């Protein structure tokens, strides 16, 4: 029996990130960037107004107040997207919109709320709606540089704005758009073949009889593959005979990774191993010191990593989460491939013998900012109903014994559901 960490190390040593492909940035959400992205211009490209208001010379507003306003001559109306035609001289101002380049001669912007509402320009489409002369009352002193966004304050020409290896979120897509990169290199998504084995299985649209059950594992595992951002390919059910198993496994060789469930416990052990050996795999079969999920097979067939997960539904899901998910994420080029571990307080005692890491299905809650983990009823490796109720796994270390209520335990979130709540949190 080897430890979870030892198994994980052996697995990840065999995994390499997949190569690159060029895709549209809007399709790149969740993918890993395959190139450094540098800026070809400053951003903003020029000093510009942070407000709707008046571009002016700060010195001209000295002593201005609500009671003693100063009046300036408005010489132009400058919408965003245009540059001022005129240069501001003493006693002059230009009506300016947020984002418009600062006019020559101006060194500050006063927001419109600190002025007396002047014309907002004619209703004709720009650029015709250039201002045709008016005045503005200034109720406040402007300081040098007020409400000016400096050229390059976000980033400078030549700066690496996104580095190879980061995961792409909406902010990164915004940045790629801002620097004019509609198409980028990202790591490819692995295609993952999913196979269930066993004469006891029938397809999910069939009615099981006579000792048979439905092939639910393939669906749960294919869904797990999707949550990683990879592409599942469902190979269906391989029957417990060499010919069928070999045929189905060969179908899987078009994928980047093969995941089977069932057939790896003591009983059918030799049988699956034989077929894999015939196919040229250096297969490592282990008992891993964990519960659920003890029997695990891992090997490399034709250069493709192959996972033989246990057949019990929860065992296979937990083993996928601990071993296959990090491998898939690494193939996708991700750097952070392990589920983060958070601290929580245990709401009731758990019985445990030392010797294996236990993954306990639990309901995570937050009260006054503190996490509480409530172990669920029904921890058997076939009990799907508790997996449905769970939003986290409590991780009890290999050497831990019985754990008391209120103990600090480690938890992994099963999904991103805990990032949302049913009331605003302000």
> Per CB under 8 A, which of residues 296..355 are in contact with a copy of itself?
311-313, 317, 329, 334-343
| Closer residue to a copy of itself, CB minimum distance, 404 or 419 | 419
- The Cα-based distances of 303 to 14, 107, 136, 344 in angstroms read 9, 64, 74, 41
Q: Is 82 in the site for a copy of itself (CB under 8 A)?
A: yes
Number of residues that bind a copy of itself (CB under 8 A): 135
Q: Classify residue 355 by its DSSP letter.
A: T
The least distance separating a copy of itself from the CB of residue 375, rounded to whole angstroms, comes to: 16
Residue with tokens 């050229």: 151
Q: Is 136 in the site for a copy of itself (CB under 8 A)?
A: no
Pairing relationship of beta strands 304-309 and 257-261 according to DSSP bridges: parallel
| Closer residue to a copy of itself, CB minimum distance, 91 or 272 | 272
Report the C-alpha dihedral over residues 313, 314, 317, 318, rounded to 10 degrees. Answer: -150
Residues 27-46 touching a copy of itself, rule: CB under 8 A, are 29, 43-46
The least distance separating a copy of itself from the CB of residue 258, rounded to whole angstroms, comes to: 18
Residues 385-404 touching a copy of itself, rule: CB under 8 A, are 385, 387-388, 390, 395, 397-398
* Residue 36: both structure tokens together: 């450094």
| Closer residue to a copy of itself, CB minimum distance, 67 or 182 | 182
Enumerate residues 6+ apart whose C-beta is below 8 A from 424. Answer: none
* Residue 402: both structure tokens together: 């019985």
Q: Is 227 in the site for a copy of itself (CB under 8 A)?
A: yes
Binding mask 140-179 for a copy of itself (x = CB under 8 A): ---------x---xxx-----xx----x-xxxxxxxxxxx
Tell me how far apart the alpha carbons of residues 248 and 238 are, in angstroms, rounded to a whole number: 6
The least distance separating a copy of itself from the CB of residue 281, rounded to whole angstroms, comes to: 19
Member of 135, 143, 223, 278 binding a copy of itself (CB under 8 A): 223
Tell me how far apart the alpha carbons of residues 164 and 186 are, in angstroms, rounded to a whole number: 9
Question: By CB under 8 A, which span of 65-73, 91-99, 278-286, 297-305 interacts with a copy of itself?
Answer: 91-99
Residues 240-259 touching a copy of itself, rule: CB under 8 A, are 240-242
What is the number of other CB atoms lying within 10 angstroms of the CB of residue 343?
A: 11
Enumerate residues 6+ apart whose C-beta is below 8 A from 89. Answer: 105
Residues 49-78 touching a copy of itself, rule: CB under 8 A, are 50, 52
Q: Are the C-beta atoms of residues 408 and 401 closer than 8 Å to each other?
A: no
Tell me how far apart the alpha carbons of residues 284 and 422 are, in angstroms, rounded to a whole number: 46
Question: By CB under 8 A, which span of 123-131, 132-140, 185-193, 276-284 interacts with a copy of itself?
Answer: 123-131
């Amino acid at each position: 029996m080897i430890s979870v960490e030892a198994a994980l190390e052996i697995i990840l040593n065999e995994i390499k990130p997949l190569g690159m492909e060029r895709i549209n940035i809007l399709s790149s959400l969740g993918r890993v960037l395959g190139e450094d992205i540098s800026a070809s211009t400053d951003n903003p490209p020029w000093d510009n107004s942070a407000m709707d208001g008046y571009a002016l010379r700060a010195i001209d507003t000295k002593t201005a107040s609500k009671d003693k306003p100063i009046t300036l001559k408005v010489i132009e109306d400058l919408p965003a997207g245009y540059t001022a035609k005129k240069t501001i001289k003493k006693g002059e101002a230009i009506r300016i919109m947020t984002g418009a380049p600062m006019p020559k001669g101006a060194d500050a912007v006063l927001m419109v709320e600190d002025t007396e509402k002047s014309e907002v320009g004619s209703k004709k489409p720009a650029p015709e709606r250039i201002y045709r002369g008016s005045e503005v009352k200034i109720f406040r002193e402007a300081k040098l540089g007020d409400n000016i966004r400096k050229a390059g304050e976000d980033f400078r020409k030549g700066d690496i704005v996104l580095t190879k290896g980061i995961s792409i979120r909406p902010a990164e897509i915004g940045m790629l758009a801002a620097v004019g990169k509609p198409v980028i290199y990202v790591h490819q998504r692995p295609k993952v073949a999913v196979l269930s084995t066993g004469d006891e299985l029938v397809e999910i649209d069939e009615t099981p009889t006579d000792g048979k059950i439905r092939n639910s594992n393939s669906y749960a595992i294919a869904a797990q593959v999707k949550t990683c951002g990879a592409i599942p390919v469902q190979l269906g059910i391989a029957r417990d005979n060499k010919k069928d198993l070999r045929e189905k496994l060969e179908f899987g060789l078009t994928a980047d990774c093969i995941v089977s469930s069932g057939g790896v416990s003591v009983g059918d052990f030799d049988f699956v191993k034989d077929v894999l050996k015939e196919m040229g795999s250096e297969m490592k079969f282990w008992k891993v010191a964990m519960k659920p999920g003890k029997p695990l097979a891992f090997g490399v067939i034709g250069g493709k990593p192959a996972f033989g997960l246990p057949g019990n539904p929860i065992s296979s899901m937990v083993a996928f989460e601990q071993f296959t998910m990090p491998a898939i994420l690494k193939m996708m080029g991700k750097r952070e491939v392990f589920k983060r571990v958070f601290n929580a307080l245990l709401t009731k005692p758990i019985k445990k013998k030392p010797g294996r890491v236990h993954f306990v299905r639990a309901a995570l809650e937050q009260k006054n900012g503190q996490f509480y983990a409530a172990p669920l009823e029904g921890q058997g490796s076939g009990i799907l109903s508790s997996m449905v109720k769970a939003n986290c796994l409590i991780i009890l270390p290999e050497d831990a014994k019985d754990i008391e209520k209120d103990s600090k335990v480690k938890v992994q979130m099963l999904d991103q559901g805990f990032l949302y709540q049913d009331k605003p949190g302000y």
